[in-house]
Structure 1
Amino acid sequence: MNLMWNKPKVSVIMPVYNREEVLSCAIESVLNQDYAKFELIIVDDCSTDGTPEIISKYEKLDKRIRTVRNEMNSRLAPQEWEPRNDGLKLAQGEYVAYLDSDNEWWPSFIGDMSKVLEMNPEIQLVHCNSLNFYPPQVLQRVMASDQRKLVYCGNDCACFSCEELIESEFGAAVYIDTNEMMHRASVFREIGGYWNTFHPRRKEIQAYQGNRYLYRRHNDQDLFERIYYRYSRQSIYHLNKMLVNYYYPGSNRTRQPQWFEHI
């Protein structure tokens, strides 16, 4: 694809580190969006596999893609930092969304999410639902313990809806994931800078999750909470639609992506 460059409405930030096996699926899920007025800023966090070559290929195909390449990995540096901030420094969009390099958006993600912000000036952040893919044994444990409302369940996947923003459940039953959110770029002027590296209650949140994914820093939940407390409950909108494929470690990635228009 070779589009004439116009200032984007939405900036998509995608950090990546050594994802050569799955990165193309993530990038193509952005490029195949129904909504075209976006830029995709890929932050290569000093990958050592074939990731840079994949990024270069897509950058040549689509002028909406820009790349930041870190000379040192953000997690291996003497002082760790958040690579999404490296992309945000270049972002030009009025709205910002984030996609991890091992997940996928459904084709209507950007259009549906940006429409909420466009039509409701009081809304600062909108979040949607994810179709979460798990190894079979993990899915059984999740189904037995997850407190959120179950929207859909398949053989290897489930969708839960986070509908009520109960403050006492923040980081527990209320968790807004990176891939599910879009917010106004202007919030950074009000909440005191970009992403924090860690959630201040990281250990507490990790303990609630049973220490399953120790690499998670939970700074996506931190960003949501900072927006929530600065702008109020009414500034957050839940779009009750499934618009993300989220893959947990060990899940089956060989199947074709599923899009359920009715959910």
Structure 2
Amino acid sequence: MNDPTPLLPPRPPRRPWPIATALLGVLGVAALAAGLAVPAFSEVAATPAPTAAPVTPAPSRTPLVAASSAPGIGEVPIDELADPDWIDRVAASAGIPARALAAYAGAALAVSRSAPECGLGWNTLAAIGLVETEHGSMNGAVLRADGTVAPAIIGRPLDGNGTEVVRDTDRGAVDGDTTWDRAVGPMQFIPSTWALAGRDGNRDGVTDINQIDDAALAAAEHLCEVGGDLTRPENWIAAVHAYNPSVEYNNRVAAAATQYAAVR
């Protein structure tokens, strides 16, 4: 993981979220995994199959900081926090849309100030964005310049058919399904998780599950809240496990994060 530089003024303590615990094996050692009672991701296996030991990614470098993001300047939209030249260079090298990378890097920089003990790397957020929705491009969706994804990316129903059972919690207001919950948006939150985790990353006064700045910041704070110090391998695994309790998912995210960490 990286050793991030604080950028934003500290926020007041966040309210605690409901937590469930589960034991996750890693290299023969039992690590305590703490996660939200309802997972964020749609494709959650009903009974995760431990086909291999979970792994962690290589560390990433902290992205360069834009001049406008200096401490004391106030709440800056997170897509403006990382240096534009860094965004353009890394986006081209990594094959990540620049608009998506600005959200991932900005979210990592934001939590480096609000939760400096977390150590979240931008590459972890980018890896989750890739695995979840191909950076907001899945199923023909388009990531617009304003950070919104259209049409909305909506996952399959959590009806127990290869997933956990999560009955409707939002009367279909977020996911359009009045029977089951579904994951929504570029980072694939389900409505009940978004109600707790939603953040205003673009500072427009609205928490929009389909807007990548809001979703990336929500994911960053979610990971830090669950995992604590993500530079510790067992904590990184626990945080990703809370996002999706699957060893296969963990290792896909770790592989992508390692690939992104190598980009200069």
The structure whose RCO (Cα within 8 Å, separation 6+) is larger is 2
Q: Which structure is higher in helix share?
A: 2
TM-score (norm 2): 0.30
TM-score (norm 1): 0.30
Q: Which structure is higher in strand share?
A: 1
